[in-house]
């Protein structure tokens, strides 16, 4: 029999993930498998000290289960930081659904997931994310009250416009700090990803008079930005080589790695993608290259601020003002980072960690 080495491999991989969870000071990880619908779900709850944990529900393909679990842990960790830096009365969590080759009954699939959420008794509140939509949240709401971003309420639905607003304010803060300019008129922004947030960010920037270069693997999404905003286009492989003022990653995470940072021809990085830095220390590499980085969990907090306000039945005009206030939060971080001559992500993470302690 040759099973022992395989079993040992699985134990080693799991041990590594437990060490990673310990490193991130994790609270809870829950797993659900339903063979009838094909649901394979992971809910990672990082921190509950500030209140129930809110985080999106991501439905994408993963090559391995270990990769899905690691993604859930990283994303939930950053959601805690995002909630803390925004002074929200919530902790951070994330749900990762390992997308099967085919979902035969999407309604039944999300009903089972809704039951899974309900079993956690309110510790986790779900929301839209990559691969899920408001209609999926509607189905979940038939099984549990711990959900936001539904299409039923006029004040709910897609939080992408609020995320985009926060990123636009982040770019404005970075441009002001870096150049002294109070306007985005003529500022060239290279947007990586024309999905939900990328599209609304392009719209925000276009209305401010910015010049846009956009890339996306989805030709229809890319063409929409070209047609509506007069954006230039480039291939996903060459977006890092575009000579611009701002690089705005709005697609996948871990794009700011050693190789890509060396290719950047910008003075500012500010976007909506989660976990943009492939490694924490890459923030120092951006500083060495004199590239001002708007830490992702600060810049993209607008969506979380909005969904938390909807879930808590808070005043939405106040929530929008808080999204606008991302500008001031980042200016304070930029000032402190310059004074201490340290990476901006170090400052932002220190502030968030202190609020979680």
**113, 141, 169 - which closes a domain:** 141
Residues 132 and 178 in one domain: no
Do 122 and 246 belong together in one domain? no
Residue 135 lies in a domain: yes
The burial of 267, by beta-carbon neighbours within 10 Å (0-12 exposed, 13-18 middle, 19 or more buried), is given as middle
3-state secondary structure of 32: strand
Distances (CA, A) of 15 to 64, 65, 142: 16, 14, 37
Domain annotation covers residue 54:
yes
Catalytic site positions: 94
Averaged pLDDT for residues 290-306: 98
Residues 301 and 229 in one domain: yes
Looking at the domain assignment, is residue 151 inside a domain? no
Note whether 200 and 173 are same-domain residues.
yes
Q: Of 212, 170, 199, 172, which is closest to residue 85 (Cα–Cα)?
A: 170
Assigned domain for 110 exists: yes
Domain final residue pick, 84, 114, 141:
141
User: Does residue 350 lie within any of the structural domains?
Assistant: yes
Say if residue 54 is in the same domain as residue 86: yes
280 and 186 inside one domain: yes
Asked if 356 and 84 touch (Cβ cutoff 8 Å), the reply is: yes
Whether 242 and 351 map to the same domain: the answer is: yes
22, HSE (Cβ side, Cα atoms, 13 Å): 6
Domain presence at residue 153: no
Write down the pLDDT at residue 357: 85
Domain at 46, CATH number: 3.40.50.10860
Within 10 angstroms of residue 193's Cβ, the number of other Cβ atoms is 28
pTM score of the predicted model? 0.92
Each residue's pLDDT tens digit, 204-228: 999 999 999 999 999 999 999 999 9
Please state whether beta strands 53-60 and 268-269 pair in parallel, antiparallel, or not at all (unpaired): unpaired
Last residue of a domain, one of 141, 171, 200: 141
Into how many domains does the chain fold?
Answer: 2
CA–CA distance, 190 with 136 (Å, rounded to integer): 32
Range of the domain at 34: 3-141
Calpha distance 318→51 (Å, rounded): 20
Query: Quick one: 175 and 263 in the same domain?
Result: yes
- Which run of H or of E encompasses 63? none
Average model confidence (pLDDT) across the chain: 94
Band of pLDDT at residue 7, cut at 50, 70 and 90: very low
Query: Sorting pLDDT into bands at 50, 70 and 90, what band is 15?
Result: confident
Report, as an integer, the average pLDDT of 139-165. Answer: 88
User: 220 and 312: one domain?
Assistant: yes
Mean pLDDT of all residues in 263-291: 97
68 in the same domain as 41: yes
The answer to the question of residue 43 being in a domain is yes
Question: What CATH number is associated with residue 188?
Answer: 3.40.50.720
Of 319, 275, 57, 47, nearest in space to 163 by CA: 319
22 and 98 both lie in a single domain: yes
User: Which of the four pLDDT bands, split at 50, 70 and 90, describes residue 22?
Assistant: confident
Shared domain for 78 and 174, answered yes or no, is no
Question: What is the rounded CA–CA span in Å between residue 180 and residue 320?
Answer: 25
Q: Is residue 93 in a domain?
A: yes
């Amino acid at each position: 029999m040759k099973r022992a080495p395989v079993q040992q491999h699985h134990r080693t991989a799991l041990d590594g993930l437990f060490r990673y969870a310990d490193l991130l000071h994790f609270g809870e990880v829950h797993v659900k498998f339903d063979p009838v619908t094909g649901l394979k779900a992971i809910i990672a709850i990082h921190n509950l000290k500030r209140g129930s944990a809110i985080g999106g529900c991501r439905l994408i393909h993963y090559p391995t289960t270990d990769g899905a679990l690691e993604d859930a842990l990283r994303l939930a960790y950053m959601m805690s930081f995002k909630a803390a830096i925004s002074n929200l009365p919530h902790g951070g969590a994330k749900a990762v659904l390992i997308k099967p080759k085919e979902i035969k009954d999407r309604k039944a699939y999300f009903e089972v997931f809704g039951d899974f959420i309900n079993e956690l008794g309110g510790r986790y509140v779900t929301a839209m994310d990559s691969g899920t939509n408001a209609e999926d949240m509607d189905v979940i709401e038939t099984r549990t009250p711990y959900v936001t971003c539904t299409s039923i309420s006029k004040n709910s639905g897609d939080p992408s416009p609020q995320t985009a607003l926060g990123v636009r304010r982040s770019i404005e803060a970075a441009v002001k700090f870096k150049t002294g300019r109070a306007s985005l008129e003529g500022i060239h922004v290279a947007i990586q990803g024309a999905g939900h947030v990328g599209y609304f960010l392009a719209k925000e920037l276009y209305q401010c008079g910015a010049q846009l270069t956009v890339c996306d693997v989805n030709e229809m999404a890319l063409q929409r930005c070209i047609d509506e905003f007069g954006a230039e286009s480039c291939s996903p492989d060459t977006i890092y080589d575009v000579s611009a003022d701002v690089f705005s990653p709005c697609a996948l995470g871990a794009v700011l790695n050693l190789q890509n940072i060396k290719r950047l021809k910008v003075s500012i990085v500010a976007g909506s993608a989660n976990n943009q830095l492939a490694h924490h220390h890459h923030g120092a590499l951006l500083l060495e290259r004199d590239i001002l980085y708007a830490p992702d969990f600060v810049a993209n907090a607008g969506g979380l601020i909005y969904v938390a306000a909807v879930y808590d039945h808070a005043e939405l005009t106040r929530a929008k003002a808080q999204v606008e206030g991302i500008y001031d939060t980042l200016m304070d971080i930029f000032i402190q980072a310059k004074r201490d001559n340290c990476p901006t992500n170090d400052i932002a993470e220190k502030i968030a960690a202190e609020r979680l302690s």
